[in-house]
Structure 1
Amino acid sequence: MWRIYSFSVLILIVVFSTYCSTVNETMFVNATKSKLKILGIFGHLGKSHFDMFKPLLEELARRGHEVTVVSYFPRTNDAKAKEPLSNYKDISLVDPKVGVDVGVNVVDLKQMSQSSFVHIQRLNTLRLMADVTCNTSLRHPAITELIRSDEKFDVILTENFNTDCFLGFIHRFKVPYLAFSSHQIMPWTNNDMGNEDNPSYIPIHFFGFIRPMNFLDRITNTVGLFLYKAAYEYWFRSVDQVIANEVFGSDLPKLQKLAQQSSALLVSTHSSLFGSRPQLPNVVEIGGIHIPSKINSLPKDLTEFLDSAHDGALFFSLGSRIKSTTMPKEKLDAILKVFSSIPRKVIWKWETDELPHKMDNVMTRKWLPQFDVMNHPNIKCYLGHGGLLGISEAVYVGLPMILMPIFGDQFHNSAAVRNRGAGIVLSFYDLNEQSLRHALDACFNDTSYRENAQRLSKAYRDRPASPLETAVWWTEYVARGNGNPYSRSEGADLPWYQYHLIDVALVLIIVFTVFIYILFRLIKLLLSLLSAVKGKAGSQAEKKRKKKD
């Protein structure tokens, strides 16, 4: 009887302790799985930009959220057939009547040239693209209908790039929003977030500087940072404000104020590649978010071609925007001559059915499953243009690279790869047979490039959570709204002269100058008094001497 009683008491103690432990458990994660209404606004016409955002948008729909996406890239019929997402709604900006080019195979290499005014040209190109997207997209009938609708959303996702005109939706729907950058943070964005952008060691991505920068680079970087910020503030935003006011109404706040309301900025970079820099807690790196979770099998003909590449193979692609077939004849002839003479096979993204000269060791395709090709064990080198999506995939795989930057952030991305010793950078404008042959020889035969690429790959992959999981968490976190009042930096609200302590420096200089002046006057007065006392004592001594005489 005593044993039964003791056993019963023991069971009660265990049950009570478990209950108390459960009741008093500390919860740091909001596990509530509420259904969210999410609006994605992506008005830029570049497919490579949208390819970064698409995996997140589709994943949010898979998790039961209602996702409405405004873009030039609605889900294709094949994608819908493969994976129907009933809660993913496209608002397509594609309008055959307008004929706006959606940024696929649009860059004519014959039109590309080096110029002494390259930075003015870059700014002008960004401005022209912003004009097209703002004037065309915001005046689309579907956008007008959305603005006039009585829709309700919990959070808005939008791209941070070359215009703020789409931020009118933040004012229209009065909800928190996240900004996404498909590249290194734009110089003006750091201002809006209150994020550090010290030009002494953080290169802006318009120059392609190697880290650490030398003295001349730091001068250029500092002046360039100031000029790019000024151009965006007083040129871009002034134009965007007029367009946005026409579409959203005259009561629309200043776009800069709306930009400063961003609850978080998710950036498609990673410190392993671009280097460590101070970031606010709500500036989050999600580089590689577009990389799929599994490797798909290649088509049969590609597999057979690569399986027989016993000496290794080269993968050559200039991305989705650049049209390889527009390459100048002298450069194309140099490439063809080199490829035909190497003992290795080449997979080449080429937009027509055939090359000018047929080569047994070269296979071309108008489109290629890039990540799957890179993962074939016989691919030993990637030759590309320095686009961030391709570079990120090559870094993930651990593939050495040869990069020929042509425009935009490609110079910055390529410099980062070279800085890590994982690739070689060629000047496209100076490309010739000799330079390409030398680069290919180094990429295939210098083991240091592969070793550095493999080392970089390990660092790039080693994270507390996948880029996609991180982006999903931040989207749901901002939509819940618990941390939004506390996530923003107070530095984003400070005028430039306060942020850089110009007012403090001026006051301290004035105080120090006044102090030095007062000290100087006191010393001068003291010397005068000492001189007077000494003179008086001398006069008295002279009088005494005369009396004695």
Structure 2
Amino acid sequence: MLKTIPVLLAGLSLLLHGPSCCQGSRILVVPLDGSHWVNMAVILQELHSRGHSMVVLRSAKSWYIPEHSPYYTSLNVRMMEDEIDNSFYLKMLQQIMKHRQLPTFIRSFRQQFEITSMLSFGHGICARATASMLDDSTFIKKLKDAKFDLMLTDPGLPIGFVLGTYLHLPMVFNARWANTGDSHFTVAPSPVSYVPVTGTELHNEMDFLERTKNLMHYFYISIVIEEVFIMPVYSELLQRHFPPGADLRSMQHSADIWMMRVDFVFEFPRPTMPNMVYIGGFQCREAKPLPAELEAFMQSSGEHGVVVMSLGTLVSALPKEMTEAIAEAFSKLPQKVVWRYLGQRPSNLANNTLLLDWLPQNDLLGHPKTRAFVAHGGTNGLYEAIYHGVPVLGLPLLFDQFDNLIRLKGRGAARVVEASSLNKENFLEALRDMLENPSYRDNIQRLSQLHHDKPISSLDTAIFWIEYVIRNKGAAHLRSAGSILPWYSYHSIDVMVFLLTLGVAFLWVSIYVCRLLCHWRCRTKSKVE
């Protein structure tokens, strides 16, 4: 039996890496910009290498999606980037940092409301952009004539799956977020007794007050955000272009496969569904050699090593007093520092710190000289840190970053510093603890070992399921019937009301019969007397 295992593995590898029976398929891609594009681009490159052709819809003002690429053909359309820029997120950051001063229990609600209010503006842009596509008969005819085999999109905003539904295409989601938060809450059973809602900053082991907070967040997101802030924005669009009764929720549920950028090495265990495939960390890879000058800087650190710092793609610059405090703390370290930094150069920057407007983050994290990673807590960066086994000092700023870092901190692989209260002293103390306490590195290297211990790579898993949907023209057999049930049927509220009504009716009839019997007995007794 043991001798057959290598043969089976070789056969499996041939199936995954060999020629595909759906080579030459045409795929329509509607990505999101920013960090979401970083991982979508990895999938597109791999699909191109397997013979598929892709058309990518992008904004002419796109921040990161190139118009010209060897991997795809692009079509410029109206997107969110046409009406907002990075200053949109800087304004949001300023408001969030104010709310971080509030008491723990209520700050997440205020923070969630702030993000919701600003993103509702984004949904307005998204609805107008989608309407402009559907109203353009020439554009729609061009897409229909292309005879695409698949829609590949990120459901963080609805443009992709609304367009995919209109074109009647099988759909695969490259997903982490849906309209209202974690995609799991859109598709999979999510018991709020132990599954923390996005934005709550809770662990999966909650006491009574924490479960109360979690339930309140769940109702706020599913009722207020979804029904008040999001659904009405698209009502006119759906009425004009779709049959009666069409809604965003049913369009999301019609996706054939949800490729979740999640690994349960990092995420809390929770219920899932057959059409949810887990590809967390698929964008990670072995480190490549660094440019000569950067490699020389890394080697110059000697035995002390290097600290890498990056705050992602959306926030280009922190407040001046914060960057001055960070620079001052770095100057006290024996380590060298590579800092991805945009903005005015800190006046107190020391010789041990190298500022770059772009850095090869994955290759730096995989370098043997790297000792720690100062990060904002975006999932791309955290998975790269897990992949390469580098402990994280978290500086969360927006969105899911607070929740992500709580997960990594709970596993003993990270520390977190609040940006709203950051100063030289607490940042330096956290850095020294991270660098001098071996438990952080031991814990994240344990996570790295678990992350790598899988029979098939996450990227190969993603490509397999994309091609699976193309080969089979969908995967409707994997979709749960629960996705088409109204909420009261899904939660059996109608059944419980029916049974409760029966119980009350039975009790009422029993009491009524008892009263009749008592009355009859009393009358009989009085006649005898």
Contact 1:353 1:366 in 2 (8 A): no
The aligned residue for residue 268 of structure 2 is 275
Contact 1:353 1:365 in 2 (8 A): no
Deviation at 1:134, TM superposition (A): 3.8
The reply to whether residue 153 of structure 1 matches residue 148 of structure 2 is: yes
SS in 2 for 1:371: helix
SS in 2 for 1:460: helix
Distance 1:377 1:128 in 2: 44
Change (3 A) 1:142 1:516: closer
* TM-score calculated relative to the size of structure 1: 0.82
Match of 1:40 among 9, 25, 29: 29
Distance 2:386 2:87 in 1: 24
Match of 2:258 among 261, 265, 278: 265
SS in 1 for 2:152: strand
Paired AA for residue 295 in structure 2: T
The aligned residue for residue 6 of structure 2 is none
The aligned residue for residue 18 of structure 1 is none
Match of 1:114 among 98, 104, 108: 98
SS in 2 for 1:107: helix
The reply to whether residue 361 of structure 1 matches residue 355 of structure 2 is: no
Distance 1:416 1:144 in 2: 47
What is the CA deviation profile of residues 74-109 of structure 1, one whole-angstrom value per residue up to 9, with x for unaligned ones? Answer: 4476xx5xxx44xx21223489xx964565996366
Distance 1:448 1:527 in 2: 76
The aligned residue for residue 230 of structure 2 is 236
Identity %: 27
Paired AA for residue 420 in structure 2: Y
Distance 2:168 2:355 in 1: 50
Deviation at 1:380, TM superposition (A): 1.0
The aligned residue for residue 54 of structure 1 is 41
Paired AA for residue 263 in structure 1: D
Deviation at 1:422, TM superposition (A): 0.7
Paired AA for residue 57 in structure 2: V
Paired AA for residue 62 in structure 1: S
Contact 1:183 1:409 in 2 (8 A): no
Distance 1:32 1:439 in 2: 53
The reply to whether residue 382 of structure 1 matches residue 373 of structure 2 is: yes
Unpaired runs of 5+ residues, structure 1, are 1-27, 540-549
Distance 1:350 1:191 in 2: 35
Q: Which has the larger radius of gyration?
A: 1
* TM-score calculated relative to the size of structure 2: 0.85
Deviation at 1:369, TM superposition (A): 0.3
SS in 1 for 2:123: helix
Contact 2:373 2:392 in 1 (8 A): yes
Q: How does 1:208-223 map to 2 (within 5 A)?
A: 208-223=201-216
The aligned residue for residue 89 of structure 1 is 73
The aligned residue for residue 10 of structure 1 is none
Paired AA for residue 306 in structure 1: M
What is the CA deviation profile of residues 125-181 of structure 1, one whole-angstrom value per residue up to 9, with x for unaligned ones? Answer: 2222222344347637997643132221111111111x3244332243222111222
The aligned residue for residue 288 of structure 2 is 296
Change (3 A) 1:176 1:431: same
Match of 2:384 among 388, 393, 404: 393
Contact 1:208 1:414 in 2 (8 A): no
Contact 1:38 1:68 in 2 (8 A): yes
Distance 2:251 2:365 in 1: 41
Paired AA for residue 375 in structure 2: G
Paired AA for residue 259 in structure 2: L
Deviation at 1:312, TM superposition (A): 2.5
Contact 1:382 1:401 in 2 (8 A): yes
The aligned residue for residue 172 of structure 1 is 166
Match of 1:470 among 453, 461, 474: 461
Paired AA for residue 210 in structure 1: H
Change (3 A) 1:179 1:103: farther
The reply to whether residue 344 of structure 1 matches residue 335 of structure 2 is: yes
Change (3 A) 1:211 1:188: closer
The aligned residue for residue 103 of structure 2 is none
SS in 1 for 2:132: coil
The aligned residue for residue 319 of structure 2 is 328
Paired AA for residue 290 in structure 2: L
Q: How does 1:443-522 map to 2 (within 5 A)?
A: 443-481=434-472, 484-522=475-513
The more displaced of 64-73 and 389-398 is: 64-73
The more displaced of 231-240 and 382-391 is: 231-240
Distance 1:516 1:137 in 2: 55
Contact 1:38 1:65 in 2 (8 A): yes
Paired AA for residue 236 in structure 2: V
Distance 2:207 2:127 in 1: 39
Change (3 A) 1:241 1:517: closer
Contact 2:161 2:171 in 1 (8 A): no
Distance 1:521 1:158 in 2: 62
The more displaced of 442-451 and 32-41 is: 32-41
What is the CA deviation profile of residues 192-211 of structure 1, one whole-angstrom value per residue up to 9, with x for unaligned ones? Answer: 53x11211111122222122
Deviation at 1:291, TM superposition (A): 1.5
Distance 2:48 2:231 in 1: 33
SS in 1 for 2:272: coil
The aligned residue for residue 3 of structure 1 is none
SS in 1 for 2:173: strand
In the alignment of these two chains, the number of paired residues is 495
Distance 1:416 1:191 in 2: 18
Paired AA for residue 217 in structure 1: E
Distance 2:86 2:114 in 1: 19
The aligned residue for residue 3 of structure 2 is none
The reply to whether residue 128 of structure 1 matches residue 115 of structure 2 is: no
SS in 2 for 1:272: coil
* Aligned residues: CA RMSD: 3.2
Distance 2:458 2:48 in 1: 17
Deviation at 1:191, TM superposition (A): 6.1
The more displaced of 406-415 and 119-128 is: 119-128
Paired AA for residue 163 in structure 2: F
Contact 2:375 2:392 in 1 (8 A): yes
SS in 2 for 1:156: strand
Change (3 A) 1:535 1:110: closer
SS in 1 for 2:43: helix
Change (3 A) 1:311 1:139: same
